[in-house]
Structure 1
């Protein structure tokens, strides 16, 4: 399919392009404000679908709202009429199209131009009145508080907030792109469409989450970033890190036995750690009543020993990096691990709860 994308240097367009480029059956025609209208006209003659994403929301003067929004839309429609084409068009409008301001008025004009085109030609049109869109590559200090805060907080700059209780309707750019691409084969005669997932979040909630992402490097405590808004916001925040700030050093503990590093702590699924142990050294000799752990030797070899704290029954396991084998630490068994090799042993550990110094549930008892 031959696809035209206007506003191709914009935030949403960049994300859309990277998804469309993965399908070799698509040929993309990209138009930005730096290109001439003669190029746009030539592209319109060729394509089978138009993503009209170009628009103006930060003009130098009011007239630019209309030239960049409604007038450009009219120019596209005029070319289609001249070529006797009824090419499907998807346009990014705004929830402000219902408001009495020049930006909203110019977007509403563009919508009406598109609806008249559909009425006269039978062409499919897809109008998206988007709320606040956030995600990677959105320009900070432009028109998105999320992108501005992500940039500022990740770069140790202050943010401004007037009312923490103010709520925003937000859509994530990946959800927007998915919805857009789904319309390439959509023959619906509906004209207005929306992104399925809309998040309603207060400025205070957004601020607190962003600062928790930043502090994760110090306290190692990561919020629940595996789904929904937190997943999308965390990905967005990470995309604003400067290129010399992709890594951070862990603070560890070292003694004659080896080293120990906490890697990551979760809100409800425990924590991950790593230890190194010198040859012949034994660690552990303690038990837990409720806490449980998983051990994985990723380098070297070791012997795990257990003893039931009531019956005295003993069990042992030999493990090494030759076999990726997870060993469970069972409540009610005192246990230890000994580096049985000639080289340093590296152990990856998971515990089902974050370590609590006031209630460690860890009791010394030799195996």
Structure 2
């Protein structure tokens, strides 16, 4: 299936694009502000459109009329290209009488007039990795503040429903097939203060590399959100060797929830392992012998971050979700590396998606 994805450079759009790339064989054409004027041409030959592009930070009139205009453009492009289905990333705010809600509701009506099958997905408040603080979500704002050890002293507490951005992306992808109409994904019910308290607790536990107890999917997703805000400035995490006349001991993973799987590998000089990314898995690398370069690149990004590590001074580097990563033996002796993941390996759902950190260079797996 050929998919046109609008808003591909935004928070939900980027996550949806990554998930489409990881889990489907769909051909995806990404639409951003830069190529919006070519929307009609880009829609040619597409089977469906996932419409995420929106305006939520502007004057009241720009928010209301801008969301309607974006949908009007999409509807026109869909008619011209005879697109079969539009999946619309709407908001529960569409049921409220405010500029954003009125704009989103009007956009839904405009898409309904396109002549396409339409799936209207009313999304709750979203949170997740790499949200912009002060823009995408209060969770992003809190996570970045906690990561900088500057959490707000007081907040106004309110109950709130939250949906992880990857779960929202999956709802949009699933809606490419099946029934049309309106969908309302279920949110996790929490409070503003509970979110902040969890983030602060995670930060204190994780400060020395300990993994906090992650008892629910919401806990894992919130912790990954914090890890995204901490990367790369808080890595590597220094570990403390304990030595005596018998040798040396290094506590590489202390998981307060007791989860996980540990394994050890050896790597010959010059060889690279990895070249993949994970959607949700928490993974730790600790080099215990030899010298290595650990390299990471955000999915669809260009910049590569390198860490050079030595088993003589053990450190932990945890792989952020949605970053492609590898490890290369850059020494002259065999490399000894311990790996830990917070879940047991499941061959039916490995959460491992192969790409190269440096796609234009040859590397051994």
For normalisation by structure 2, the TM-score amounts to 0.65
Cα distance in 1 between the residues matched to 2:259 and 2:30: 48
Task: Report what 1:208 is aligned to.
Answer: 197
Q: 1:173 aligns with which of 150, 159, 165?
A: 165
In 1, distance between residues paired with 2:25 and 2:40? Answer: 23
Measured after TM superposition, the shift of residue 26 of structure 1 is: 2.3
Q: How far off is 1:232 after superposition? A: 0.8
Distance 2:98 2:214 in 1: 37
What is the Cα deviation at residue 11 of structure 1?
0.8
Given the alignment of the two structures, is residue 138 of structure 1 paired with residue 136 of structure 2, yes or no? no
Deviation at 1:90, TM superposition (A): 0.9
SS of 1:109 mapped into structure 2 = helix
In the alignment, structure 1 residue 54 sits paired with structure 2 residue 43: no
**Matches of 1:219 and 1:30, distance apart in 2:** 40
Give me the whole-angstrom Cα distance separating, in 2, the residues matched to 1:272 and 1:102.
49
CA, structure 1 residues 200+253, in 2 after alignment: closer, same or farther (shift >3 Å)? same
Asked whether the 8 Å contact 2:11–2:136 carries over to 1, the reply is no
Q: Supply the distance in 1 between the matched residues of 2:85 and 2:260 (Cα, whole angstroms).
A: 51
Tell me if the contact between 1:265 and 1:271 (Cα under 8 Å) persists in the aligned partners: no
Kept in 2, the 8 Å contact 1:134–1:144? The answer is yes
**Equivalent pair of 2:143/2:225 in contact (CA under 8 Å):** yes
Residue 89 of structure 1 is matched in structure 2 by 86
Higher relative contact order structure (alpha carbons within 8 Å, sequence separation ≥ 6):
2
For the 8 Å contact 2:87–2:120, the answer to whether it is kept is yes
Equivalent position of 1:237 in the other structure: 226
Sort the Cα spacing of 1:271 and 1:260 in 2 relative to 1 into closer, same or farther, 3 A: farther
The correspondence for 1:106, drawn from 85, 103, 106, is 103
C-alpha change, 1:90 and 1:35, in structure 2 (3 Å) is same
Take 1:236 and 1:175, find their aligned partners in 2: how far apart are those partners?
14
1:104: how far off?
A: 0.7
User: 1:79 — aligned with what?
Assistant: 77
- Shift of the alpha carbon at 1:247? 1.9
Which residue of the partner structure matches residue 306 of structure 2? none
Distance 1:270 1:230, change over 3 A: closer
Pair 1:268–1:236, CA change in 2 (3 A)? closer
Per-residue displacement from partner, 1:82-118 (whole Å, max 9, x unpaired)? 45x252001111111111210111011111222333x
Query: Paired residue for 1:2?
Result: 2
Q: TM-score when scaled to structure 1?
A: 0.65
1:251-273: per-residue Cα shift (whole Å, max 9, x none)?
A: 34444444444444444549999
1:155 equivalent in alignment to 2:153: no
| Inter-CA distance 270–162: structure 2 relative to 1 (3 Å threshold) | closer
Which residue is 1:304 aligned to? Answer: none
Which SS does the other structure have where 2:34 is aligned? coil
Superposition deviation, residue 27 in structure 1? 2.0
1:129 paired residue among 98, 117, 122? 122
RMSD of Structure 2 on Structure 1 (CA): 2.9
Per the alignment, residue 21 of structure 1 pairs with: 21
1:58 is displaced (CA, Å) by 0.4
Correspondence 1:183-332 to 2 at 5 A: 183-186=175-178, 188-189=179-180, 191-196=181-186, 198-218=187-207, 222-225=211-214, 227-267=216-256, 269=258
Q: Rate the CA distance shift 1:272–1:2 in 2: closer, same or farther, 3 A.
A: closer
Question: Partner of 1:276 in structure 2?
Answer: none
CA 52–271 in structure 1, closer or farther in 2 if over 3 Å, else same: closer
Query: Structure 1's 98 and 14: CA in aligned 2 closer, same or farther, altered over 3 A?
Result: same
Unaligned 5+ runs, structure 2:
263-287, 290-335, 339-365
Q: After superposition, what is the alpha-carbon deviation per residue over 1:298-356, rounded to whole angstroms, capped at 9, x for unaligned?
A: 99xxxxxxxxxxxxxxxxxxxxxxxxxxxxxxxxxxxxxxxxxxxxxx9x9xxxxxxxx
Contact in 2 for aligned 1:7/1:55 (Cα 8 Å): yes
CA gap of 1:48–1:271, structure 2 versus 1, over 3 A, is closer
**Kept in 2: contact 1:263–1:271 (CA 8 A):** no
Counterpart secondary structure, 1:185? coil
Call closer, same or farther: CA 1:23–1:211 in 2, change over 3 Å.
Answer: closer
CA contact (8 A) 1:15 1:174 kept: yes
